[in-house]
Amino acid sequence: MTMTLEIAALSAGYAAGALTPETVLDSVYARIAARGERPVWIHLVPRAEAGRQLAAARARQAAGAELPLFGIPFAVKDNIDVAGLPTTAGCPDFAFVPERSATVVQRLVDAGAILVGKTNLDQFATGLVGTRSPYGACASVFDERYVSGGSSAGSGVAVGAGLVSFALGTDTAGSGRVPAAFNNVVGLKPTKGLVSTSGVLPACRTQDVVSIFAGTAGDALAVLRVAGVYDDTDAYSRKAPPSAVQPAPWPPGFRFGVPRDGLEFFGDQAAAALFTAAAARLEALGGSRVEVDFTPFRDAAQLLYSGPWVAERLAAIRDFAETKPDSIHPVVRGIILGAAGISAADAFTGFYKLAELTRRAEAEWARMDVLLLPTTGTTYRIEDLLADPVRLNSNLGYYTNFVNLMDLSAIAVPAGFRPDGVEKGGLPFGVTLIGRAFADGALAALADRLHRAQALPIGATGCLPEGPTLDTIATDTTDRAPGMVRLAVVGAHLSGQPLNHQLTGRNARLVRAARTAAGYRLYALAGTAPAKPGLVRDPAGAGGIEIEVWELDEAAFGSFVAEVPAPMTIGTVTLEDGGTVKGFLCEPIALNGAEDITGFGGWRRWLAK
């Protein structure tokens, strides 16, 4: 079996003295040499330079710096700047050598990660296929006849082939998710603005994100926790709540949406069966399946290659496209220069339509906590894709194009192989979990559970995940970020209940399910519609009341408390493990005529009586 490059495993090996970064780098460069540089790599960092990076990181570590990614090899898509290396965006005539690295690259290097090289892509990040590059067409690590996915083709293959621990891509329409599906790895597409795009060549600047390919959701989130920091040099950077990059457990009964209709597999019955199995697996993990109307999401996806967002692609490279059109791949050139006829009025029409569809989608989000979709409905042979490049590319974006337009977070995760099996050339299939903005950490925790439930290898390496599950990390009650407040909820604010949106709308994250200590009673208050619970301190109370602990920042907590109506109050609640958190309590005056429901053990069980 190939030595694993999982971040958690390497870090543990270094700490125990069982591995050295030098040995790992030697192995990485030997694997790259055996495979050949093209078409995965556009620029490979010499082994000696990687050694100099390691020496610099080791010196910082010796001086007391905390380096969470020390000795971890990584790659960068070649539309992201690295100081001293050309940025080509897959177009040699466009190349330039930046003096500074992109903010995200510098943060990773400062954290001790070792840059191995820059990877191939669909030119100017325009495509979901991996074939639109003069540096060669990338292929799936499982079958060279099939596309690798794009535009972050080389990054997906580099992780799937076990050449690096993680790789940066970019994602506008699905470029950080489709290659993950086709190479059996995780693709984390962060919320827009969570990771700086300063030093990233735009495709659609208002929609672009830097994505992360890794072997596990835990590794991807570990990278995001380093990379996801506000950058005032990036006009589109956003100040995210600390909870955005924290894992969070999902309570039993969490609601996952699947399309009521509109599921499209383009004739691929094996993919359809694998998606059905993934949905069943999520139910087995405690989820409650909810059918939703996919129409607003599907219609938003169809907007991406029309109106404002095609014009944005032209705006990014207009001077070059108009002066050197023959230097651009024919399919890419047709898409980008085709935007020249889009008027300002056309652009505003697109903005209005997207706003309308996003509002319509709100009704569906009120019914679900997460959306489960195929990452793609099918895959294609390279020869078929080249014969019909636009239509088949569009099919691959059926489930991905809307996500950034609607300001959502997403993570693509492996979901099995076609029935003929890996050893017989079977191709991987993936699903994507989609959530609200800044739900990145919570999605990663759920994706980790779904991934590990199948005992799938990382990419084509044969290595199974070795690191701790994100559930373990998420339930660590000591992991509270500075400036955050933990709040116990007992009734209408529980997951799936009518007022839960007052928490999720403030970017609160679910920390864990728990129960109160003894000394509490729960009542169903009289004269309220709908019914409301009241948690009351009572030394004689049996306690053991089901609650959920949520975490939100201090400002959000203040605004939340301001909305709490009488007779409810916010006090301090003691949990069965002896810990204390802020929580809902009820004034005793409200108990006249109330029903003592303590024996049910919680509000949900009383509602279900």
Catalytic residues: 77, 151, 175
Rounded Cα gap, residues 48 and 139, in angstroms: 29
* Short-list 603, 606, 583, 371, CA closest to 494: 603
Rounded Cα gap, residues 586 and 546, in angstroms: 16
Rounded Cα gap, residues 180 and 122, in angstroms: 15
Rounded Cα gap, residues 452 and 432, in angstroms: 15
Tell me how far apart the terminal alpha carbons of the chain are, to the nearest angstrom. Answer: 53
Contact at 8 Å (CB) between 434 and 371? yes
> Quick one: three-class SS letters along 268-326?
CHHHHHHHHHHHHHHHHCCCEEEEECCHHHHHHHCCCCCCHHHHHHHHHHHHHHHHCHH
Rounded Cα gap, residues 120 and 75, in angstroms: 10
Contact at 8 Å (CB) between 101 and 83? yes
Q: Which residues of 496-527 are buried (b: 16+ CB within 10 A; e: fewer)?
A: ebeebebbbebbbbbbbbbbbbeebbbbbbee
Concatenating the DSSP letter of every residue in 438-471 gives: T-HHHHHHHHHHHHHTTTPPSTTS-PPP-SPPHH
Rounded Cα gap, residues 372 and 289, in angstroms: 9
Rounded Cα gap, residues 429 and 413, in angstroms: 9
- Give the SS3 label for residue 523: strand
* Short-list 582, 546, 590, 547, CA closest to 565: 590
